[in-house]
Structure 1
Amino acid sequence: MPELRIENLTKRFKNETVLDGVSFTVAEGETTILFGPSGAGKTVLLRCIAGAVDPEEGRITIGGNDISDVPPEHRGIGMAFQNFALFPHMTAFDNIASPLTARRWSREKIQEGVEQVAKLLKIGHVLSHPPRALSNGQKQRTALARALAASPEILLLDDPLRNVDAKLRFEMRLELPRLLADQGATVIYVTQDYKEAMALGDRIAVLSGGRIAQIGTPEDIYRRPASVEIARHFGDPTINLLDVVPEKDGGGVFTRLSDQRVPLDSGLEAAVGRDCVLGLRPEALRFSDSPDGIPVEIEAETPFNEKTVTLVVTARKREILISRPAGTAAPGSGTARIEVDATDALLFDRATQERIAPQHRGGGKSEAAA
């Protein structure tokens, strides 16, 4: 399967720049998640790649071949967009079969291809129905089935699970990676759901302000977010963000919460004395019996199916969320103490909102650059 490369892609609508020099590569057979808030330009980028929209600048190459001026129908790209784009005069079967019919597949092969993908997406019972008789979820799955049926080398999926019910969405998060791997397609998958991004992507490209703000593996994005904005987007409950000024003494680099010492990575010495934001994931905090723990007051506790989230308040009235597995023993009210491992703490520059990566001896970073 070919590599897809986007180089300095720029798209404007009147005076608004929607895409501003976007560049990234999707390796052969890789699924890259394009993640970002509504209005970030994700769908516009897909339409540029598909040929439905012409960019003002930049190049798009597939397998090293520039396709920027190639008509959409000759790009060999499979697409499934949010607006379904189903042919209203055709049944669901014929909609799914349309790319196969265009390739002049045999009737038997078309029947087999359509039924196979329809079974996976659980729409076999509506194949004889026209689009007007389908629910939004069924329309979404029909559009996805049409994109998958011809096993294209490049596949563009624009939030294809947005309109399906929660149960099927969960099932498809498990099934889609296997299906895409079996097809071997090079995939760009758009979503605003961070759980979907983490579950489906080999890599995640975060689009913000018309630019790629960060690209990396799901672990990179979650554990080493490039900015406060990206850190907020990934995680439920959301990350705790607290204004701090790091210090240093003979014991190393640290900061304070409720006047208690919170150790930081020794490579963060350059942040000492600077206005920073401390990022603490709720699951990285835990209740502690240690007298050195951070004193807090428990405000509320909310049980979920797989976890329990506790809201606590520090001595300086700063709110912190703590997440623990359901059934784990912990105080439910009154005063308590909490602690955090230095390896789980993130530090951001308060002015730029960018993450400060630890630096160790020799000038090297202690981790992959985000």
Structure 2
Amino acid sequence: MATLELKNIVKRFKGQTVLDDLTLSVADGRTLVLFGPSGAGKTVLLRLIAGVIDPDEGRVLIGGEDMADVDAEYRGIGMAFQNFALFPHMTAFENIASPLQARKVSQGSIRAGVEKVARLLKIDHVLSHRPKALSNGQKQRTALARALVASPPLLLLDDPLRNVDAKLRFEMRLELPRLLADRGATVIYVTQDYKEAMALGDRIAVMNEGRLCQLGTPEQIYREPADMEIARLFGDPTINLLDVKPARDGRGVSVGLSGVQVYLPDAPREAVGRDCVIGLRPEALSFVEEGAAGAFPVTVEAETPLNEKTVTLVRTARGREILVSRPAGTPGPAEGEAFIAVDGASALLFDRISGERFGANRTIPFRRGEAA
């Protein structure tokens, strides 16, 4: 069993706090993605879990056992570092095999285990090469294979696809969840790529400046971001953010967009009359005919096909730019005057000063039927 609990973790370097009262838990066999910008403290947290460094305050528990007096080599952890950390004098085969060698596994089992994981990661053809003869992508996959080969109960993966080419990265996003699930390990996965975070995590922990900003499932983080910064980080094209002041009448709460009142069925009461920012995902906007409910006028500035979707840049009557996304091949204006409508139920309202979303929950509990 490899449940992981982090309780009130604090870590300082030279008086600077890099992890600030961080509390997290990961259930046995689940994957938690640590997501955030460079310098958020993600890698420091991994090294602390691994036992490479110690917390100044707080506790790390693995399988319910406090790791305070347990050295790194006895924690039952597999880790793939961002900087590869391969032994330069060893071949790729020997690097991958090293955890099995340390356990004194039979030579036949070592060869079978190494070859199996190498095939999965598409590096079986370079097993005889030393690190200096490998590309960065091959080095990264060799480090990942070494972390996986012994099937440790807890896996720490520090941005393992960063140096992999785009085609293989896409393939690995599809393959890694199955590969990790087959091993039944509890996984902590670090990335700065929101698509990777959405594809791989049972839950996502959004970090910034050593703090936990939000914790939830990928869908919850995307649909219920705690603040504007998190909303910006998740989504391509990025979310539209427009200044508004919600008002209430007999029909409900609405905001003015290009002189048209757009009603928001789920708008919180506390937002009424306050300076707000409305967040509109590009896919929540659609081109409609003039006179349609909630339709407001725009001018089409540019259109960009992006494989599975088409993104259109439009300008409102007040000169504000908005991105509209629709599935590729569906009709839409390429220039001139047009009208768009908002899916009001999916609109997000943020406080203009604090950036907080009205009604936000920083730690979103699992709902019935979701992975724990």
Bin the TM-score by the shorter chain. over 0.9
Q: Quote how far apart the aligned CAs of 1:266 are.
A: 4.2
Which one of the candidate residues 353, 359, 370 is aligned to 1:357?
359
Structure 2: 5+ residue stretches without partners: 368-372
Whether contact under 8 Å (1:265, 1:358) holds in the other structure is: no
Q: Residue 370 of structure 2 aligns with which residue?
A: none
Task: Report the secondary structure of 1:70's partner residue.
Answer: coil
Q: Deviations over 1:125-144 (max 9, x none)?
A: 10000111111000000000
SS at match of 1:151: coil
Following the alignment from structure 1 to structure 2, what is the Cα–Cα distance between the partners of residues 111 and 43? 31
Matched, 1:121 2:127: no
Residue 176 of structure 1 is matched in structure 2 by 176
Between 246-255 and 12-21, report the one with greater CA deviation: 12-21
1:277/1:350 contact within 8 Å kept: yes
Q: Secondary structure at the match of 1:253?
A: strand
Q: What's the offset of the Cα at 1:55? A: 1.6
Equivalent residue letter for 2:323: L
What is residue 362 of structure 1 aligned with on the other side?
none
Quick check: 2:226–2:360 contact (8 Å CA) kept in 1? no
Q: What residue in structure 1 maps to residue 111 of structure 2?
A: 111
1:69 is displaced (CA, Å) by 2.5
Instruction: Give the secondary structure class of the aligned counterpart of 2:49.
Output: helix
Cα distance in structure 2, aligned partners of 1:318 and 1:69: 58
Taking every aligned residue pair, what percent have the same amino acid on both sides?
69
Q: Secondary structure of 1:82's partner?
A: coil
Structure 1 unaligned blocks of 5 or more: 360-364
Selected match of 2:349 from 347, 355, 366: 347
- The partner residue of 1:300 within 299, 302, 322 is 302
- Summarize the Cα distance change of 1:118–1:353 in structure 2 as closer, same or farther, 3 Å threshold: same
Give the Cα–Cα distance (whole angstroms) in 2 for the partners of residues 106 and 30 of structure 1. Answer: 30
1:28 is displaced (CA, Å) by: 0.7
Which residue identity lines up with residue 298 of structure 2 in the other structure?
Answer: V
- 2:283 is the alignment partner of 1:289: no
Structure 2 counterpart of 1:51 = 51
**CA displacement 1:126-174 (0-9 Å, x = unmatched):** 0000111111000000000000000000000000000011111111111
CA distance in 1, matches of 2:315, 2:266: 27
- Deviation, 1:208, is 1.2
Contact kept? 1:265, 1:342, Cα under 8 Å: yes
Tell me the distance in 2 between the aligned counterparts of 1:357 and 1:255.
18
> How far 1:305 moved relative to its partner?
0.9
Matched residue SS, 2:181: helix
What is the DSSP-based 3-state SS (H/G/I as helix, E as strand, rest coil) of the residue aligned with 1:235? coil
Shift of 1:51: 0.8
Letter in 2 for 1:167: K
Q: TM-score, normalised by structure 1?
A: 0.96
- Deviation, 1:188, is 0.3
Note closer, same or farther for the CA distance 1:255–1:267 as it changes in structure 2 (3 Å cut): closer
Q: Stretches of 4+ moved more than 2 A in 1?
A: none
**How much does 1:253 deviate?**
0.4
> Is the 8 Å Cα contact of residues 9 and 58 (structure 1) preserved in structure 2?
yes
After TM superposition, the structure 1 = structure 2 runs for residues 90-109 of structure 1, keeping only pairs within 5 Å, are 90-109=90-109
Distance 1:331 1:267 in 2: 30
The residue correspondences of 1:292-331 to structure 2 (distance < 5 A) are 292-331=294-333
Shift of 1:68: 2.4
- Give the aligned partner of residue 138 of structure 2: 138
Distance 2:50 2:265 in 1: 45
SS at match of 1:58: strand
Instruction: Deviation per CA, 1:54-80: give whole Å up to 9, x if none.
Output: 221110001110012211111110000
Per-residue Cα deviation, 1:17-61 (whole angstroms, up to 9, x for no partner): 111011110111000000000111100000000011122111000
Q: Is the 8 A contact 1:10 1:55 kept in 2?
A: yes
Q: Give the letter aligned to residue 253 of structure 1.
A: V
Taking the aligned partners of 1:52 and 1:178, their CA distance within structure 2 comes to: 29
- The alpha-carbon deviation at position 342 of structure 1 amounts to 1.4
Cα drift, residue 290 of structure 1: 3.8
CA-CA distance at 1:358 after TM superposition = 8.6
Cα distance in 2 for residues equivalent to 1:69 and 1:206: 29
Whether the aligned pair in 2 keeps the contact of 1:265 and 1:343 (CA below 8 Å) is: yes
1:221 aligns with 2:221: yes
SS of the aligned residue for 2:268 comes to helix
Q: CA deviation at 1:267?
A: 4.7
Relative distance call for 1:269 and 1:358 in structure 2 (3 A) is farther
Which residue, 303, 320, 333 being the options, matches 2:335? Answer: 333
- The RMSD of aligned alpha carbons is 1.5
* Separation of aligned partners in 2, 1:131 and 1:143: 10
CA distance in 1: counterparts of 2:215 and 2:352, whole angstroms = 22
Q: TM-score, structure 2 length as denominator? A: 0.95
Task: Give the equivalent residue in structure 2 for 1:25.
Answer: 25
Q: How many residues align?
A: 362
Distance in 1, matches of 2:186 and 2:323, equals 39
What corresponds to 1:66 in structure 2? 66
Cα deviation for residue 8 of structure 1 reads: 0.8
Contact 1:267 1:358 in 2 (8 A): no
1:340-361 per-residue CA deviation (whole Å, 9 max, x = no partner) reads: 11111001111111111299xx
1:157 aligns with 2:157: yes
Distance 1:338 1:358 in 2: 28
- Summarize deviations over 1:162-201 as a string: whole Å, max 9, x none: 0011111111111110011110000000000000000011
Moved more, 284-293 or 165-174: 284-293
- Judge conservation of contact 1:287–1:330 (CA < 8 Å) in 2: yes
Matched position secondary structure for 2:152: coil
CA contact (8 A) 2:36 2:42 kept: yes
Structure 1 residue 304 displacement after superposition: 1.1
